[in-house]
Amino acid sequence: MRVWKKFSRRSISEVDTDITLSTSIGILGIKSNRERCNLFAVSPSFTILLEHLLEKTFNYSWYNDRYISDSNPVIIGGCARSGTTLIRVMLDSHKNIYCGPETGLLYTKTINDNKIRNISRQLDIPYDVLVRMKKESKSNIQFIENIFKKLQQDTQKTRWGEKSPMNVLHINRIFKYFPNARFVHMIRDGRDTACSLKHFPNTRVVEGEVIKLDTNNPLNECIQRWVHDVRKGIEWRRDPRYMEVKYEDLVSEPEKTIREVLDFLIEPWDENVLNYHQIQSSSRSKEKIPQNISAQKPIYKSAYGRWKNEFTEEDKTLFKNLAGDLLIELGYEKDNDW
């Protein structure tokens, strides 16, 4: 079995217990007889999968109860490189809302020891505390809820939130276990998103230093990812718990846009959401958001319309063929004559 690493940095929960793993571009699974023969040749991925299968097998009841949370979290998702981190740090600056680093916990289905250690590093919660919390929780969903409640309480906030781009692929699961949640779907012009995804990840942090990477992903896969992720989100347009926010609106009219978001969340206005870049937090360190370091800076518009300088005529034709209809549907263009 081959587990492909599209856009290589993965959240702590992307590898799951399912034999076939889905990502934001297609299905990753056993593709052919040849790959079946190579199953054990991919030992790290197979080992991870086996660990998760054993965890779920030996703790079956813990993963299969009917626990439904009464929390009202703020959930953020959307295609990667669409502004999810920007709105995350803005909302995290609100006096009532805790919204820390990306975790992927809301769509994880198993939590074994390795994952607990990853959570500990990502969220700065001592490992032994997490182990105790897991033992005291009646189910995986309650454990996940308790993790965020602890972070909310530690920061003296009244509401918790979670931002992971892939949340947009799991809205059904999120609303099933957190029916009082509010989902904010960040959407960005697919042409700019594709340009960004093409070079993503563009940095990594090594011993505290930011190292630039020379990434060059196939443009067609970047476009397909945008189409897939956006379409999964807009399926929920009729649900009153769901809201769409365009990145372009957020950077061009930040106060107006974030006021609308706070109204949707039934939260009062707080000037701190506009001054997010002045607020210090360990959850915003370069180690926690290595691909989005600029989200700690004041809002800038330099990434707005970047496709105009980066797309060739061939790129434009490719985008129109793969995503032209969606671009028009979202109101970014009136037709394909651009």
Task: Write down the pLDDT at residue 49.
Answer: 78
Residue 266 lies in a domain: yes
Measured from the Cβ of residue 116, the count of other Cβ atoms closer than 10 Å reads 19
Going from the C-alpha of 332 to that of each of 165, 180, 244, 326, the distances in angstroms are 21, 31, 14, 9
**Least-confidence region, from 28-32, 173-177, 238-242, 273-277:** 28-32
Backbone angles phi, psi at 88, to 5 degrees: -65, -50
Q: Which residues contact 199 (CB under 8 A, 6 or more apart)?
A: 215, 216, 217
Task: Indicate the pLDDT class of residue 205, thresholds 50, 70 and 90.
Answer: low
Cβ atoms 279, 271 nearer than 8 A: no
Residue 334 lies in a domain: no
Q: Which residues contact 238 (CB under 8 A, 6 or more apart)?
A: none
Q: Pairing state of beta strands 27-28 and 21-22?
A: antiparallel
**Least-confidence region, from 6-20, 143-157, 241-255, 313-327:** 6-20
Question: In the structure encoding, which two tokens stand for residue 82, read together?
Answer: 């669409």
Cβ atoms 99, 92 nearer than 8 A: yes
| 256-312 pLDDT, tens digit each | 999 999 999 999 999 999 999 888 765 545 455 555 555 567 787 777 899 999 999
Cβ atoms 105, 15 nearer than 8 A: no
* Comparison of pLDDT for 18 and 325, the residue scoring more: 325
Q: How many domains does the chain have?
A: 1
- Which CATH number belongs to the domain containing residue 99 in this structure? 3.40.50.300
Cβ atoms 46, 15 nearer than 8 A: no
Check residue 255 and give left, alpha or beta (phi > 0: left; psi -120 to 50: alpha).
alpha
Mean pLDDT calculated for residue range 190-219: 82
Above pLDDT 90, what percent of the chain?
Answer: 65
Task: Write down the pLDDT at residue 22.
Answer: 36
| Dihedral over Cα of 154, 156, 161, 164: its sign | negative
Residue 64 lies in a domain: no
Residue 194 lies in a domain: yes
* Comparison of pLDDT for 30 and 153, the residue scoring more: 153
Q: Flag whether pLDDT at 30 surpasses 50.
A: no
| 162-196 pLDDT, tens digit each | 999 999 999 999 999 999 999 999 999 999 999 99
Task: Indicate the pLDDT class of residue 208, thresholds 50, 70 and 90.
Answer: low
Residue 316 lies in a domain: yes
Cβ atoms 182, 74 nearer than 8 A: yes
Residue 41 lies in a domain: no
Whole-number CA gyration radius for the chain: 20
DSSP reduced 3-state for 29: coil
Task: Indicate the pLDDT class of residue 203, thresholds 50, 70 and 90.
Answer: low
Range of the domain at 192: 70-329
* Comparison of pLDDT for 266 and 212, the residue scoring more: 266
Task: Write down the pLDDT at residue 6.
Answer: 42
The mean predicted confidence, pLDDT, of the chain is 84
Cβ atoms 77, 165 nearer than 8 A: yes
Residue 12 lies in a domain: no
* Comparison of pLDDT for 17 and 210, the residue scoring more: 210
Task: Write down the pLDDT at residue 47.
Answer: 76
**Least-confidence region, from 33-37, 59-63, 214-218, 232-236:** 33-37
Mean pLDDT calculated for residue range 3-18: 39
Residue 143 lies in a domain: yes
Would you call 211 exposed, middle or buried from its count of C-beta atoms within 10 A (0-12, 13-18, 19+)?
exposed
Nearest to 73 by CA among 157, 182, 233, 188: 182
Q: In residues, how long is the chain?
A: 338
User: Which contacts qualify for 167-170: CB closer than 8 Å, 24 or more apart?
Assistant: 167/75, 167/76, 167/77, 167/106, 167/107, 168/77, 168/78, 168/79, 168/229, 168/230, 168/232, 168/233, 169/22, 169/24, 169/77, 169/107, 169/229, 169/232, 170/77, 170/106, 170/107
Q: Flag whether pLDDT at 36 surpasses 60.
A: no
Task: Write down the pLDDT at residue 44.
Answer: 62
